[in-house]
Amino acid sequence: MSNSPTPPIDMNHIVIDSNRIAFRYQTAATAQSADTPPVIPAALDDVTLTIPHGEFVVLCGQSGCGKTTFTRLLNGLIPTFHTGDLTGTCSVYGLRSGHSSIEEYAAVVGSVFQNPKTQYFNAFVADELAFPCENAGWEPSAIRERMQEVASSFGITHLLDRSIFRLSGGQKQRIAVAAACMLRPRLLVLDEPTSNLDAQAMADLNAMLAQIKASGVTIVVAEHRLAWCVDLADRYVLFDSGRIALDCSAERFRDLPERRRERWGLRALDMTPFHAAVRQSVANAGQSRTDAAPLPANGTIQDQSASGTAVIATRGLTVGYRETRVFGRFRRRRPDAAAFSRTIPDLTLHAGRIVGLMGHNGAGKTTLVRTLVGLAKPLDGGILRYGETASPSELTRHGFLVMQDVNYQLFADSVRGELLLSTPYRDEFDAPEDVLQAADRILADLDLMELSDRHPMSLSGGQKQRTAIASALMCNKELIVLDEPTSGLDLKHMRQVGALLRTLADRGKAVLVVTHDEELAAQWCDEVVMIRP
């Protein structure tokens, strides 16, 4: 990025100029996420905003406030890909929305999206980096040169020959930013880039953006997690139901009382208190664990008196997986046959308690929870259920995992059907009265009653999550594990998830939450366990 050939532009030069923009998505089907309600209000309403060259602007606001829609206007996806009624004018470095083609935008605007899994087009890193240049018709030697330049400036040279599927979420997001920079864009647009990232990956992203900003690129980030880019932002623009509610400099925004930002549904600007609370909680848990360790037999009794019964406990557990190969038998077995293994400190999950599970990507959190619900076999050690060793299939019968992508977990054609699927009665008409009543009680408890006849795929993300949990309650699961339930959620929805966890715990379930979200861990978990690689 250092020797970018773009001519120096006056810093006060207005490069993004939107004038009385209003936009309404055409149909629910064309809107990207299911979160959009069927009756669509205007996504943007009378938005007038100018951004000078080289500024780092954070667009913030609750989900559905229009910040993502505005980023789509900047990278030309509106109105070419996301069609709808657009009025007003918006010009981005001389490109006018509705008149310039999306290919013209591609040369000037780099885009990074929310989901690291689906925003790359090629299977390998080098191909993905070369992709924008290939489309622009660069010469092969020029592409290779540019790729080396970008890779070395961002420190990703070692990743170049990897398959993107092997990378962690944070690495994927760095590749996405690097790919967006290949054509030397004047403007970089990021739409909630951190929603699936841990703290370390966010710090890496921050460093990358600092470098890009220093090279004179205008950056626009739509985000409701504010803490990670607080040192870079020059200006904050707050959206509220499609309108600009506040437009102020970074200094003024930081001086606002935290209370006000909370009222706007924004996540905390300063994570220090949550960080401290999490550390304290981890320390407490470690303390009680060392107390209990010499007397394991007494320990369980103590635990019972302290809180609910210990549902699941691990003893000397090592989790991991072995490399499977098609022709594995033809190879000599190496002594370290496990491709991945972690020894987990002993862990006890009580009924009625919420335990947070934290740790960096690759620390083995996912493998641990898969083992706890019986989807993976432990490599060593055992898992006790009510004090007795339990087999993986037993754990699967009594545990439930709410996956990060909950879409995989919904099979039926209505929300009520989803609950009945967990019973021997597959159909609403076969089920006896008491089963239907039990189902209705659960639906009412989880606020799903009005949605009971809707198709699960027509629900919003949070509603799908609740439906999956309802199905688990229906088959009386004792342990409910949630994998990153708050990724990409604003404050209001994060609190809803927190309250949901409490509801589950109050029903006597043991709740385990895998999360990177320190706000969630600090405010809603009774205990936090940190796993270190």
Partner 1 sequence: MTDAQRTASDTASKARGFAALSIPDLITIGVFTAIYFALVAVCTFASAIIFAGFGSILLPALCALVAGCGPYRGRRRRAFRFDGRHRLRLDPRAKLFLLLEANLLLFCHVNTRTEALLTALFLLPLFLSGRIRSGVRFTLIYGALLALSLIEPPTEGRGAWLAIFPMIAVGIRMLLPCLITGAFAFTTTSPGEFTAALRRMHVPEAVIIPCIVVIRFFPTLREDYRHIRNAMALRGIPSGGGSPLRHPAQSLEYIIVPLLMNATVVAQDLSVAAMTKGLGNPGRHTSMTDIRIGIPDWAIMILCALPLILFLTGVL
d(CA 92, CA 76): 9
Query: What order of strands is seen across the sheet that includes strand 510-514?
Result: 399-402, 479-483, 510-514, 354-358, 527-530
Closer to partner 1 by Cβ: residue 141 or 305: 141
Q: What Rg do the C-alpha atoms of the chain give, in angstroms?
A: 25
Closer to partner 1 by Cβ: residue 86 or 513: 86
**DSSP conformation letters of 342-366:** EEPPP-EEETT-EEEEE--TTSSHH
d(CA 182, CA 478): 50
Q: How far is CA 56 from the centre of its chain?
A: 23
Contact 226, 268 (CB under 8 A): yes
d(CA 514, CA 449): 28
Closer to partner 1 by Cβ: residue 374 or 498: 374
Shortest separation between residue 501's beta carbon and partner 1, angstroms: 18
- Which among 95, 46, 38 has a CA at the least distance from the CA of 66? 46
Closer to partner 1 by Cβ: residue 180 or 268: 180
Residue at token pair 């020059």: 234
Helix (H) or strand (E) holding 258: helix 258-263
Shortest separation between residue 33's beta carbon and partner 1, angstroms: 9
| Phi, psi (deg, nearest 5) at residue 529 | -110, 130
Residue at token pair 């007038």: 48
Reduce the DSSP state of residue 206 to 3 states and report it: helix
Shortest separation between residue 326's beta carbon and partner 1, angstroms: 8
Task: Give the angle 383-384-387 at the CA atoms, nearest 5°.
Answer: 165
Contact 205, 169 (CB under 8 A): no
- E strand segments, 174-280: 187-191, 218-222, 235-240, 243-249
Closer to partner 1 by Cβ: residue 49 or 189: 189
Shortest separation between residue 107's beta carbon and partner 1, angstroms: 7
Closer to partner 1 by Cβ: residue 75 or 348: 75
Contact 60, 228 (CB under 8 A): no
Shortest separation between residue 104's beta carbon and partner 1, angstroms: 9
Query: What order of strands is seen across the sheet that includes strand 235-240?
Result: 109-112, 187-191, 218-222, 56-60, 235-240, 243-249
Max Cα distance, the chain (Å): 75
- For β-strands 310-322 and 109-112, DSSP reports them as unpaired
210: left (phi over 0), alpha (psi -120 to 50) or beta: alpha
Closer to partner 1 by Cβ: residue 131 or 386: 131
Closer to partner 1 by Cβ: residue 352 or 456: 456
- Which among 369, 341, 367 has a CA at the least distance from the CA of 355? 369
Closer to partner 1 by Cβ: residue 162 or 279: 162
Shortest separation between residue 188's beta carbon and partner 1, angstroms: 11
Closer to partner 1 by Cβ: residue 26 or 287: 26
Shortest separation between residue 375's beta carbon and partner 1, angstroms: 5
Closer to partner 1 by Cβ: residue 264 or 400: 400
Closer to partner 1 by Cβ: residue 24 or 162: 162
- Which among 338, 457, 483 has a CA at the least distance from the CA of 400? 483
